[in-house]
């Protein structure tokens, strides 16, 4: 079956513990057990992270980068085995799992090399006086990663912390632990000193309420839902800890009348079906100029209906199962509510079978603003397609929700692109394509979608503090 045994990793050593089952979403079989850390394990992790930080912050940036790059090379060598384990635990098709790993490696490699360029600056002062700004690693980090990207989400956090000279305790998802375990194993095998990276699982609320207030921890980073993000951010605030909050979205897509609606619909099917829509940057609310609306909606529905749904291990599968039964429940609730309010179901709309969490790509048209799906992040294979009169209406609707993570627009007009770049309330806007983030660009939200950035120079700077040294010479 190729599913690894899941262990905790504390102070450079692997630890077994009892815990809960890990479920394969394609057939609901048990893949293994995820160990639950005790308070004693967490105390050991905090102690290890403090010692690891003392060592790592004083390791030359070039030496740090070499170890991190060695880990990325090991991950690339192991990508096939890693991908298989991630498809088993999370459901996404094997080629998507492999791409996630390779993308994670791109991030690790970019951060590792950029970590050698965390330069400070010298500020001119009077004679006999010098001000020097140092960018110093902030300290041990507590990181919480979600189940939808088992490898690349932990990779972003680990790469950001380690490349900046911080140590980290990673609390990865209990539902999809193999992605994080295999990532950590590569760093262990690459020769990372003990304590710099620690991996725990357990009860998320118990772990966060133990780690966040600990004086050893200097930065919190969380990827997940808005309510949990707000809870952790307030806990971080109480203890005066800075935080990176990468929370939910409700991706608007503005399709102007000057682009080909059929080509844009085909791109939309691919983007919406990625990871079965369980992506914080998933395109969800499509606002299509009236002249193209029916053609776009029909082409989208036809493309959605043609997708091959099945077990992600089958190479012909394009849409795997949802990751857990909570997502099936959410799809059923959102679709029945929208249909009851008058939305047209153009494709999908019914769970497939009753073993494994399969749900088709569902396209709803003419969805009223009052529908739950227009307001709540679906986090699943649900696309909402509505007509708009003009760009003003499209931008107003895009900005109507409290989210602002990723937005998309399709237009050949430079004027439209300029308006969109200025007026859409979002952390990331992609025009004429659906890639929301890359290793070298800052990624993150505005409004309820969070704060802080992952990726790019902005992402690394979140793991540092500026210290000014003012030196008077005799």
Q: Which residues bind ligand NAD (CB under 6 A)?
A: 144, 146-148, 173, 204-205, 208, 223-225, 227-228, 231-232, 246-248, 280, 326, 377, 379
For ligand NAD, the closer of residues 225 and 295 by Cβ is 225
Phi, psi of 54 (to 5 degrees): -55, -35
Q: Give the integer Cα–Cα distance in Å for 130 and 133.
A: 10
Cβ–Cβ under 8 Å, residues 142 and 171 = yes
Nearest approach, Cβ of 22 to ligand NAD (angstroms)? 13
For ligand NAD, the closer of residues 148 and 426 by Cβ is 148
Q: How is 215-268 classified by DSSP, letter by letter?
A: TT--EEEEES-HHHHHHHHHHHHHTT--EEEE----EEEEE-TTS-HHHHHHHH
For ligand NAD, the closer of residues 9 and 144 by Cβ is 144
H or E element at residue 421: helix 414-423
- Single out the catalytic residue among 109, 246, 377, 454: 246
Q: What is the CA radius of gyration of the chain?
A: 23
CB atoms closer than 10 angstroms to residue 70: 17
Nearest approach, Cβ of 132 to ligand NAD (angstroms)? 38
Q: How is 404-458 classified by DSSP, letter by letter?
A: -SEEEEE-S-HHHHHHHHHHS--SEEEESS-----TTS-B--SGGGEES-BSHHH
Query: Is 109 noted as a catalytic residue in this protein?
Result: no
For ligand NAD, the closer of residues 24 and 152 by Cβ is 152
Three-state secondary structure call for residue 179: helix
Nearest approach, Cβ of 435 to ligand NAD (angstroms)? 16
For ligand NAD, the closer of residues 330 and 391 by Cβ is 330
- Single out the catalytic residue among 105, 166, 280, 462: 280
Structure tokens at 432: 């004429």
For ligand NAD, the closer of residues 333 and 397 by Cβ is 333
Q: Give the integer Cα–Cα distance in Å for 382 and 375.
A: 13
Cβ–Cβ under 8 Å, residues 132 and 207 = no
For ligand NAD, the closer of residues 227 and 342 by Cβ is 227
Query: Is 246 noted as a catalytic residue in this protein?
Result: yes
Nearest approach, Cβ of 331 to ligand NAD (angstroms)? 11
Cβ–Cβ under 8 Å, residues 465 and 138 = yes
Structure tokens at 208: 């966060």
The position carrying tokens 């790592």 is: 56
Cβ–Cβ under 8 Å, residues 197 and 32 = no
Cβ–Cβ under 8 Å, residues 291 and 259 = no
Cβ–Cβ under 8 Å, residues 85 and 240 = no
Three-state secondary structure call for residue 467: strand
Nearest approach, Cβ of 471 to ligand NAD (angstroms)? 42
The residues carrying an active-site annotation are 246, 280
């Amino acid at each position: 079956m190729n599913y690894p045994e899941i262990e905790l990793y504390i102070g450079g050593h692997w630890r077994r513990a009892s815990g809960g089952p890990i479920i394969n979403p394609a057939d609901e079989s048990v893949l293994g057990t995820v160990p639950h850390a005790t308070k004693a394990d967490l105390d050991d992790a905090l102690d290890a992270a403090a010692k690891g930080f003392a060592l790592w912050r004083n390791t030359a940036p070039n030496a740090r980068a070499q170890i991190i790059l060695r880990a990325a090379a090991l991950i690339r060598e192991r990508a096939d085995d890693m991908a298989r384990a991630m498809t088993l635990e999370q459901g996404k098709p094997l080629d998507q799992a492999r791409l996630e790993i390779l993308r994670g490696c791109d991030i690790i490699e970019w951060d590792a090399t950029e970590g050698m360029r965390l330069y400070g600056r010298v500020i001119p002062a009077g004679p006999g006086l010098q001000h020097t700004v140092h960018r110093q690693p902030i300290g041990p980090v507590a990181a919480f990663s979600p189940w939808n990207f088992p490898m690349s989400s932990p990779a972003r956090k680990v790469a950001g912390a380690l490349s900046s000279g911080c140590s980290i305790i990673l609390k990865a998802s209990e539902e999809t632990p193999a992605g994080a375990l295999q990532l950590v194993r590569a760093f262990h095998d690459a020769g990372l000193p003990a304590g710099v990276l620690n991996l725990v699982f357990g009860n998320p609320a118990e772990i966060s309420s133990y780690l966040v207030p600990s004086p050893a921890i200097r930065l919190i980073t969380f990827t997940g839902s808005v309510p949990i993000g707000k809870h952790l951010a307030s806990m971080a605030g109480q203890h005066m800890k800075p935080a990176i909050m990468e929370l939910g979205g409700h991706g608007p897509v503005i399709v102007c009348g000057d682009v080909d609606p059929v080509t844009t619909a085909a791109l939309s099917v691919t983007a919406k079906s990625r990871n079965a829509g369980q992506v914080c940057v998933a395109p969800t609310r499509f606002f299509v100029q009236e002249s193209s609306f029916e053609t776009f909606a029909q082409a989208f529905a036809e493309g959605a209906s043609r997708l091959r749904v099945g077990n992600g291990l089958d190479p012909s599968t394009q849409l795997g199962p949802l990751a857990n039964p909570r997502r099936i429940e959410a799809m059923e609730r959102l679709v029945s509510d929208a249909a009851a309010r008058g939305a047209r179901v153009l494709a999908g709309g019914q769970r497939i079978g009753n073993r494994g969490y399969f749900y088709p790509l569902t396209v709803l048209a003419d969805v009223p603003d009052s529908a739950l799906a227009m307001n709540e992040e679906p986090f699943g294979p649900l696309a909402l397609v509505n007509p708009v009169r003009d760009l003003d209406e499209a931008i107003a609707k895009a900005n109507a929700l409290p989210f602002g993570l990723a937005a998309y627009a399709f237009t050949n007009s430079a004027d439209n692109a300029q308006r969109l770049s200025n007026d859409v309330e979002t952390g990331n806007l992609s025009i004429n394509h659906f890639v929301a983030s890359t290793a070298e660009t800052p990624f993150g939200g505005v409004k309820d979608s969070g704060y802080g950035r992952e990726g790019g120079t902005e992402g690394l700077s979140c793991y540092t503090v500026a210290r000014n040294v003012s030196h008077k010479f005799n």
